[in-house]
């Protein structure tokens, strides 16, 4: 691929990184651009961290869903920057997440890390969580009662972190947050209001692993998020 002539050198650099990491093609950089850094106020960070630790203690002891409590290895609370401007929400932990107790650490998680880096951020600068905090057996679809039991924890996480932008990964997360039956293809690519935060829906990284041709659509969604965040990152 020939040299990219972009009016925005930051966009050119990030697009180069995105394509190179995903093996889509080769593109030559025109300018080195440093990654933006997040420097939250210490007092705000400490307060948010304490609030989340208290919530985490509650979630770790949760046994509202008898089947999930009996079969899980870990409660996957979430991880990342407690004052993040950007928060990602997925469906539920998978096998690797259940074993390690961390969100998005399997192949889909590795791709999510690349997606985050494609907009000039590091994984430690965002917060990542799931609607469900426990892995459903055999990765089955979460049951309605499980959502009712667990969703309040997610809402509390969002209230305490106070992200400017939420990114719902996949149909399940998008439908849960927006209380809709629409599919992800019709919801992605535009912002919704979620209690004062901007919510954008996009494809789940696991879907992208099965359908790599859709990665460009996610890149377009990520550009919108980066533009919305502006100096907040």
Determine contact, residues 173/90, Cβ cutoff 8 Å.
Answer: yes
Local confidence pLDDT in tens for the 233 residues of the chain: 444 444 455 455 555 555 555 444 433 333 344 444 445 556 667 877 788 999 999 999 999 999 999 999 999 999 999 999 999 999 999 999 999 999 999 999 999 999 999 999 999 999 999 999 999 999 999 999 999 999 999 999 999 999 999 999 999 999 999 999 999 999 999 999 999 999 999 999 999 999 999 999 999 999 999 999 986 55
What is each CA distance from 84 to 96, 123, 195, in whole angstroms? 24, 10, 16
Q: Is 144 helix (H, G, I), strand (E, B) or coil?
A: helix
Question: What pLDDT score was predicted for residue 233?
Answer: 55
> How many Å separate Cα 76 from the centre of its chain?
14
Determine contact, residues 165/198, Cβ cutoff 8 Å.
Answer: yes
pLDDT digits 0-9 by tens, 156-196: 999 999 999 999 999 999 999 999 999 999 999 999 999 99
Instruction: Evaluate whether the domain defined by 44-232 bears CATH number 3.40.470.10.
Output: yes
Question: What pLDDT score was predicted for residue 3?
Answer: 44
- Alpha-helical regions (H) of 23-125: 42-60, 66-71, 95-100, 107-118
Question: What pLDDT score was predicted for residue 138?
Answer: 94
Based on DSSP, count helices (H) and strands (E) in the chain, helices before strands: 10, 6
pLDDT digits 0-9 by tens, 12-39: 555 555 555 544 443 333 334 444 444 5
Q: Is 204 helix (H, G, I), strand (E, B) or coil?
A: coil
> Angle formed by the axes of helices 9-22 and 107-118, to 10°?
160
Residues of the chain with CATH 3.40.470.10: 44-232
pTM to 2 decimals? 0.81
């Amino acid at each position: 691929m020939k040299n990219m002539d972009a009016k925005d050198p930051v966009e050119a650099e990030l697009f180069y990184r995105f394509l190179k990491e995903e093996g889509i093609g080769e593109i030559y950089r025109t300018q080195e651009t440093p990654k933006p850094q997040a420097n939250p106020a210490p007092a705000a960070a400490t307060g948010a961290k304490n609030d989340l630790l208290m919530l985490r203690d509650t979630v770790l002891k949760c046994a509202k869903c008898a089947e999930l409590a009996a079969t899980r290895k870990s409660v996957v609370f979430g991880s990342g920057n407690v004052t993040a401007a950007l928060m990602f929400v997925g469906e539920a932990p998978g096998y690797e997440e259940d074993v390690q107790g961390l969100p998005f650490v399997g192949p889909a998680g590795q791709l999510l890390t690349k997606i985050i880096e494609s907009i000039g951020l590091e994984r430690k600068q965002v917060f990542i969580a799931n609607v469900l905090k426990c892995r459903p057996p055999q990765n089955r679809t979460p049951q309605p009662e499980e959502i009712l039991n667990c969703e309040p924890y997610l809402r509390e996480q969002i209230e305490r972190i106070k992200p400017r932008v939420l990114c719902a990964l996949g149909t399940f997360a998008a439908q849960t947050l927006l209380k809709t039956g629409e599919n992800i293809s019709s919801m992605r690519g535009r912002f919704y209001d979620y209690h004062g935060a901007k919510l954008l829906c996009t494809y789940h990284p696991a879907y992208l692993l099965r359908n790599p041709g859709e990665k460009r659509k996610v890149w377009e969604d990520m550009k919108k998020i980066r533009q919305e965040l502006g100096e907040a990152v």
